[in-house]
Amino acid sequence: MNLPGSPFLAVQDGRLCLDGHDLTQLAHQHATPLYVYSRQAMLSALAPYQRALVGRAHLVCYAVKANSNLAVLQTFAQAGCGFDIVSAGELARVLAAGGDAAKVVFSGVGKSRAEMAQALQAGVRCFNVESTAELEVLSDVAAGLGLRAPVSLRVNPDVDAGTHPYISTGLKGNKFGVAHEQALASYRRAASLPGIRVVGIDCHIGSQITEVAPYLDALDRVLDLVEAIEAEGITLHHMDLGGGLGITYTDETPPAADALIAALLARIDARGHGHRELLFEPGRSLVGNAGVLLTEVMYLKRGEHKNFCIVDAAMNDLMRPALYEAYMGIVNTQGTDEPTDTWDVVGPVCESGDWLGRDRSLAVKPGDVLAVLSAGAYGMTMASNYNTRGRAAEVMVDGAQVSVVRERERVEDLFKMERLMG
């Protein structure tokens, strides 16, 4: 058995191992719930992006929201990556991990004045601006600091990425970006503002995309705009083509990163834009299949219509199934010859939506350790303290090294900022 899309998770001597490390043993050493990541799996996922862009002016900006652990950010900073952020908090994380502010692009529809000022003073590479209202405010903040904010406008090309509605971002009905029909006027306004310096154009159509066609459709619309904008004398130094490449959770067959980029480069060159610097913002495709969530089986509860495998991880630890009805593989980390039954894998949180997997064929008993696969992206970053549950610990493996990269929260940590009334 292999981790979908990755050679780093495999059964060895009847035990499930990540990069050679026995996951059952890690669960017993560090307790559960426990996130475990492979540094080498992350670097392996990054390699095809870097290979495909050799010889091109480019910057791969890791999307911090996918997994913002400092050790993960450190891994990509040391590999030469920039970062795509959506908050001042994420900027602080990047800088704490050794990232370079000059390689940071600041996205997001609701940047506050304080966040804008913080990013300007840090010297971020670019603001991906998502509305004309934001342009006006950013110009005012920058001018007040005696600066000009480097800007690309995020253009919404009205392209269907064919993904879940919650993670589709390129349609007219989505909150993101400037409408394609309004983009030229918005660029004219940007060029006229005293605190703005136009540097590029940005497009991001969604997440967990498994086909090349939506990217090419969006690219064609962006290139049409580039030509129209530059015809007005506004120079665009870079094109940011976003991220969103999907991974294999079950039977998806997304294109390889280098194949996707090759198709984009061919279209860019064919239309005479090969001289431009290119930015990409991958997140899930770099970390999703580099991590697992380990959880211990607590109780088995058989019913007339459903069997429930109750584990110690819950929707507060992993929100994707409850939020998106997302399918994530679940396997027993210990080889077993016991016959399988069909189980709903559920957690202790007091919600009917607290489930990690439905109708799964598993051979399990109390005390077994299960691994929820493909949990490196949008796992810990979306975790909460619902039901006053401490968030899980995180461990990174790298060759023979095992490092605790986030300690488990204690109950007293959860209300230390609260106060009783006098």
Amino acid symbol at 241:
L
Q: 226, 250, 282: which is the final residue of a domain?
A: 282
Is the domain of 111 the same as that of 145?
Answer: yes
Contact 283, 200 (CB under 8 A): no
Tell which of 227, 260, 282 closes a domain: 282
In a domain, 74, yes or no: no
Backbone angles phi, psi at 267, to 5 degrees: -70, -40
Q: Please tell me the pTM assigned to this model.
A: 0.94
Q: Confirm whether 379 is domain-assigned.
A: yes
Verify that 181 and 301 share a domain, yes or no: no
**Max Cα-Cα span within the chain:** 71
Is residue 350 annotated as a catalytic residue, yes or no? yes
Reported as a single tens digit per residue, the pLDDT across 283-299 is 999 999 999 999 999 99
Mean pLDDT on 338-365: 95
274 and 131 housed in the same domain? yes
Residue 153 domain boundaries? 107-282
The answer on 307 and 278 residing in a single domain is no
Residue 96 has pLDDT above 80, yes or no: yes
Asked if omega into 194 is within 30° of 0 (cis), the reply is no
Please tell me which residue in 17, 61, 309, 350 is annotated as part of the active site. 350
Residues 221 and 121 in one domain: yes
| Listed residues 282, 302, 324: the one ending a domain | 282
Residues 300 and 262 occupy one common structural domain? no
- Listed as own residue / partner, the contacts of 267-271 with beta carbons closer than 8 Å and 24 or more positions apart are 267/216, 267/219, 267/220, 267/223, 268/219, 268/223, 268/239, 271/223
Query: What is the tens place of the pLDDT at every residue in 213-255?
Result: 989 999 999 999 999 999 999 999 999 999 999 999 988 899 9
Output helix, strand, coil percentages for the chain, rounded to the nearest 5: 35, 25, 40
**Shared-domain flag, residues 262 and 210:** yes
**Domain harbouring 294, CATH code:** 2.40.37.10
What would the pLDDT profile of 148-199 be if each residue is shown by its tens digit?
Answer: 999 999 998 877 555 445 444 444 555 567 888 899 999 999 999 999 999 9
Domain count for the chain = 2
The answer to the question of residue 334 being in a domain is: yes
- Asked whether residue 78 is domain-assigned, the answer is no
Q: Are residues 201 and 227 in the same domain?
A: yes
Same-domain check for residues 183 and 326 = no
Residue 239 lies in a domain: yes
266 and 120 belong to one structural domain: yes
| 344 part of a folded domain | yes
DSSP 3-state assignment of 415? coil
For the stretch 193-215, pLDDT in tens is 999 999 999 998 888 899 999 89
Closest of 168, 170, 167 to residue 159, by C-alpha: 170
Q: Return d(Cα 418, Cα 403) in angstroms, integer.
A: 31
Least confident interval from 42-56, 141-155, 323-337: 323-337
Stretch among 109-118, 152-161, 197-206, 355-364 having the lowest mean pLDDT: 152-161
225 and 326 together in one domain: no
| Domain of residue 122, CATH code | 3.20.20.10
Q: How far is CA 322 from CA 211, 326, 358, 379, in A?
A: 25, 7, 11, 12
pLDDT at 168: 45
- Within a domain: residue 73? no
Read off the amino acid at residue 15: R
3-state secondary structure string, 99-144? CCHHHEEECCCCCCHHHHHHHHHHCCCEEEECCHHHHHHHHHHHHH
Per-residue pLDDT of 403-420, as tens digits, reads 999 999 999 999 999 999
The better pLDDT of the pair 157, 275 is held by 275
- 277 and 292 belong to one structural domain: no
What Cα–Cα distance (Å) separates residue 71 from each residue in 153, 341, 394?
Answer: 31, 38, 10
